[in-house]
Amino acid sequence: MPGGDTARPMRADARRNYERIVATAKELFTTQGADVPLDDVAKTAGVGAGTLYRHFPTREKLFEAVYREEITVLADRAFVLHDELPPWEALEAWLLAQVTWVVERHKLATILKESIDSGSETFLYCQKRLREATGLLVETAQQAGLVRPDVVGADVLRLGHGAGMAVRNCSPEEGRRVLAVIFDGLRA
């Protein structure tokens, strides 16, 4: 949804349009690049250009919405894993999900990060959300005596990002080996 907690709730039809635009933009940015005409995004989403520009007055605002949505889904995955799995398994599954996201969304993430100011509300929101989610998994695993006490959530985020970048062009076996080294390094 639109950034910040102060945004007015949207009508159901406006919310559907917003969500369709963001999903379409994500797909088109991934397949065609960041320069895809916004009128093409509107047409493919099945909305008028006015509707798109009412929600997203600039290309940057649309980039921010796509990035926020991507990161929210990723962070939410960590909370679900925390609730559904034992601490170590949740951390393993989360790191694998993060690495997979980096590998699969590398081009999209690069486009989005280049377009978003690192001091913007969206960037800070996304950073905070990922750190909270990862921190919860790390702290829970530490309380169970499974993860080194000197590790923080931001460390795991950096390791996941680095691993994702490192294994983008590797075989699945090589990727699993990289993750095994990381997991060994995290263990208490």
CATH number of the domain enclosing 158: 1.10.357.10
pTM comes to 0.82
The Cα–Cα gap between 143 and 156 comes to 16
**Is 4 a residue whose pLDDT tops 70?**
no
CATH number of 53's domain: 1.10.10
* 26 vs 62: CA distance, rounded Å: 9
Backbone angles phi, psi at 103, to 5 degrees: -65, -50
Query: CA of 131: how far to CAs of 20, 49, 185, in Å?
Result: 28, 36, 19
Distance of CA 104 to the CA centre of its chain: 11
Judgement on whether residues 24 and 69 belong to the same structural domain of the protein: no
Count structural domains, the chain.
2
pLDDT at 5: 46
Query: Same domain for 80 and 159?
Result: yes
Are 35 and 105 part of one and the same domain?
A: no
Average predicted confidence (pLDDT) for the chain: 90
Q: Which residues form the domain of 16?
A: 1-57
